[in-house]
Every structure is written in C-alpha cells, then in structure tokens.
Structure 1
Amino acid sequence: MTIEFAEITAEGRELRLEYRWIARERAGAPLVVFLHEGLGSIAAWRDYPLALCEAGGFRGLVYSRPGYGRSTPRKREERWTLDYLHRQATEILPALLRAAGAGSERPWLFGHSDGGTIALLYAALRPEALAGAVVVAPHYFVEEKALVGIARAKTAYETTDFHDRLAVYHVDPDSAFYGWCDAWLSPEFRNWNIEAELGCIRCPLLAIQGHEDEYATMQQIDGIKAQAPQTELVKIPNCRHSPHRDQPAILTQATVDFIRRQDRRAAAPATAR
C-alpha cells in the first residue's frame, strides 16, 4: 500500500498531507476513514487499519494530520488554538477527502482520542455527509484526569527516551508532541467543551472506551449518549486509552458488527425499517 501526498489549501495556507488507501479496488464496499490520536500518524496506527478493513471487507483511507507523520510540520512558533479540533473537522478533513478522490462519498469515520473528537464534530457539522462514525476514547470536555496524564507525558518526553520513540512515527516529533501538549495544557483549554454540538449528530454512532483509560472516565462516552441517544456504547475491560493496541479483537468485532448492521438497515426498504 503506497503512501501518497495531497496538496491542499486550508487554514489560509498550503499544506502537504500524507495518506494511504487500503483495498481501494473493493468497489461498493463501505469506506472507513481513520482519524488518529493526538500523537498519532499513519505509521503510529501500525497495521490496525489494514486488519480492520480485512475483517470487515471495507475500503480504508488513512492520513496524517498537519503537524504529524510526514505531513507538513507545525511551525516552531505556531500554537494550536482552542478551536483546532473544529478546524480539523471543517477544513482539513473535507479538503483531504476531495484531494484523495473521496469527496463525493458518505464514508464511515473511525476516530481515536483527538480523532474521535474530530469525528464527532464532523458528524455534528456535516450531518448528511456521513454513513456513520465509530469513536474510540473520544473526549467532548476536559477532565482533570486528562490534564494530569498529559502533564505526565510531557515530563516523560523531556526526561526519557519518549522523544526518540515518537521520532519513529514523525519526521518532526516536537511538532506532534508540543502541538498537542501545549494546546491541552493551556489555561484557556480547561473550559473547552463541545456538548452543544453533540445534539446535532444524527448518523449512527458507536462510542467505545476502555475501563482503565488513563486519560478519561466513562463520563465521556456516557455524556455523548445523553446528547445523541442513538449512540451505542461498548466499554472494554482490561483496556487503557488505546483499545486497538490493548484489545484489538474486541474493538474489531464491535466495529465490524456495528457497520454491517447499520449498512443492512440503511439498505432495507423504508417499510421494513
């Protein structure tokens, strides 16, 4: 599977994004677009997108957001503002889909952590554009547990080999780490909240979280369901913030079952539904 690059215009500038298709030749199969976490990239997903697409017979589209992987790095002086996740949903993702040749499709979004939040915002702000979304360890408000975890990660990045380990996945690991870390640890971010947007989500939604998540409590996905009642929840035992690493089989089965069920429902005659 070849890495390709898209030249897009977003956020008032020219950006270069790396992306990769999985099983593009599966004409008519559901398209799943993968949205990575706050320190993620195409490489950081490892082989999980391929494994999920093989299990479900899906097509896949994976990309690295600006500041990550081999996409355009963040400028040294650039600080991501309070609305950086909104801008990813309203500018970057639509531009990437158009550039990759998927702009006319109604894909499924599969988002992890920050990527899950971007999926929620995209679903809320573009309600007719999606078949549905699977959000894994998403966040819609800031918990103290998250801030403690991120502060701990910052200490590790600056005092251990964490920097070198991130360099495996990013050409500029400082771009990825400090873009995410500085945004979340800024004083104004403590009041960040997208609860109002959640009520606008109309598409099928599956929200998944591990019981041992080190960055969040179950209030995150329970709160999503309270605002978007069609949401189905999966709570995974013995699982931390990354179910695709800790419990990949459970995550894959839940996702494949959900997408297939919703696709069957969408294809059924209106009277049957």
Structure 2
Amino acid sequence: MKEQKGFLEIDGQSIYYEYFLKNFPNKATIVLLHEGLGSVAQWKDIPQKIYQNTDYQVLVYDRSGYGISSMPKADYPSDYLRYEAQIMLPELLNKLSIKKCALFGHSDGASIALLFAAYFPQRCSYVFSEAAHVVIEDISRQGISRVRKIYTKKLQKPLQKYHGEKADWVFYHWADTWLHKDNHQWNMIEELKNISCPLVAIQGDKDEYGSPYQLALIQDNCTLAQTHLLKDCGHIPHFEAWQQVEALL
C-alpha cells in the first residue's frame, strides 16, 4: 500500500488529507466524508478496511476547521454543506488529479456526498450514504439539543483530542447552525432529483438524529437509489454494523 498525505491550500484554507493508493494504475478512488463532529482520525481503521477489501483507492480528509485542517475562513457560510460540495470537494479532487470518484459519506458527510453527486454528475460514479440528512426533522433538532446541554461536561475533552483548540468551534458551529430558526426548513430535496449515479443509502433504526423518513425521501427522489434500514443500529453504522456496511458497499 502506498500512502500519500499532506496539506492542500483550497479557497484560502489548509486542508489535511490521506490518500491510500493501489500499486496498479487507473484504479477508482472512493472519498470518505466525515460527520459533523468528525475527522480523518475518527474514521479509525475504516479507510484501511475499505482499501483492503475493495478495489478502491481511498481518500480521506479533514474539512475546513476539523481535525488538523486550518480554521475556516471568516466568511465560512452557514449553508456549509453546499459550500463543501460545490467548492471544497471538487477543488480537492482537482488538486489530486481525480477526475471521477465514488463517495462514502456519514451524516453531514453523506449530505455533502449527495449534493456533490447532484451538482457534478459527470464526476461521481457511486454514492454510499450513511445517516444522511436531506431535511431537518424535529428528531434531528432534539438530538442536537440534548448533546448541546452536555457538551462541556462530556464531549468537550473527547473532541479536543481530535480537533485541539478548534473543538469548541467544531461543536458550536454544527449545533447552533442546525438549531437556528433560519435553518428549520433547510432541505436538499430538489438536488436529490439530479442524482443519476447508483446510490446506496443506509440508516440505523435507532438513529437519534434522523428517522426513516430520510431514506424514504432519498428513495422517492433518486432514480437509482437502494435504501436499507439497519435493525438495532444507531447513528454510526460503520462502527455499529460494519459487516452489514461492508456487504452493502
């Protein structure tokens, strides 16, 4: 396995990435997109598992403000999912000379993956979506409200392990964006209709941040979508139900 890692300057921000390359040329690349509090390190061994058990080369990166990437620019938008899908991800691919890729996204990362597939159909061959948010539900806001109340007591130190001094920004930007009244009607349903590549979307039946309605919307609006509700699984299927994830991937 050949590994390439480093930082790339994209739209005024320094973005950390790791790229696991095959020894044979022209192998397809799958890009892993982390959750709203995630980072490269928080994927743990998932990139290596995908690399070892598939033909994919694997690219994983810290989005703006996360992990060891730099803080985002001052005018980082509140609609950051679309910004990441329209600006940051395509430019990352450009800098690494990746013309077309598959995407594996979790939570916020899954929403970004779906948006990218809608905006750049010619560059996306496949999407694997875990716990995507395509609309903001009451259950989503309730879950975020619960963790916001316990952040300083239970989540701050664990997040500092991965995000350092940026941990408070990571948490409050995520939580306060989705709790703000201006975002209660946020959705990406129209974009879903533009996705033309094969798509597998999964969600746990015990996901505390979204209901099966998310899967129903994906199924109803994406022509080539397959959806799966995983039994006795919460918000992180790749840790809670890896064997099922691997089989569906």
- TM-score, normalised relative to structure 2: 0.94
1:161 Cα deviation from its structure 2 partner: 3.1
CA distance in 1 between counterparts of 2:171 and 2:181 reads: 18
1:80 Cα deviation from its structure 2 partner: 4.2
- Unaligned stretches of 5+ residues in structure 1: 256-273
Q: Secondary structure at the match of 2:93?
A: helix
1:222 Cα deviation from its structure 2 partner: 1.2
Give, as a single letter, the amino acid of the residue that structure 1 aligns with 2:62. Answer: S
CA distances 1:141-180 after superposition (whole Å, capped 9, x unpaired): 010001010011111112x131100111112211211121
Change in Cα spacing, 1:15 to 1:54, as seen in structure 2 (3 Å) is same
- Confirm or deny that 1:142 pairs with 2:144: no
Runs (4 or more) in structure 1 with deviation over 3 Å come to 77-80
Contact 2:13-2:71 at 8 Å conserved across structures? no
CA distance in 1 between counterparts of 2:111 and 2:204 reads: 16
Contact 1:67-1:179 at 8 Å conserved across structures? no
- Confirm or deny that 1:55 pairs with 2:53: yes
CA distance in 2 between counterparts of 1:107 and 1:161 reads: 37
1:97 matched residue in structure 2? 93
Task: Kindly report the root-mean-square deviation, in angstroms, between the aligned alpha carbons of the 2 structures.
Answer: 1.5
2:9 matched residue in structure 1? 7
Contact 1:74-1:176 at 8 Å conserved across structures? no
Give, as a single letter, the amino acid of the residue that structure 1 aligns with 2:13. Answer: L
Q: Secondary structure at the match of 2:127?
A: strand
State the aligned residue count: 246
Greater C-alpha radius of gyration:
1
1:213 matched residue in structure 2? 207
Alignment map for 1:212-231 (pairs within 5 Å): 212-231=206-225
- Unaligned stretches of 5+ residues in structure 2: none
1:265 matched residue in structure 2? none
- Confirm or deny that 1:18 pairs with 2:16: yes
CA distance in 2 between counterparts of 1:79 and 1:5 reads: 19
**2:84 is matched with which residue: 84, 88, 105?**
88
1:249 matched residue in structure 2? 243
CA distance in 2 between counterparts of 1:195 and 1:116 reads: 14
CA distances 1:46-101 after superposition (whole Å, capped 9, x unpaired): 111111221113100000100100111247x76741x2111110001011112233
Change in Cα spacing, 1:173 to 1:24, as seen in structure 2 (3 Å) is farther
Contact 1:33-1:107 at 8 Å conserved across structures? yes
Q: Secondary structure at the match of 2:238?
A: helix
Q: Secondary structure at the match of 1:149?
A: helix
2:154 matched residue in structure 1? 161
Give, as a single letter, the amino acid of the residue that structure 1 aligns with 2:235. Answer: H
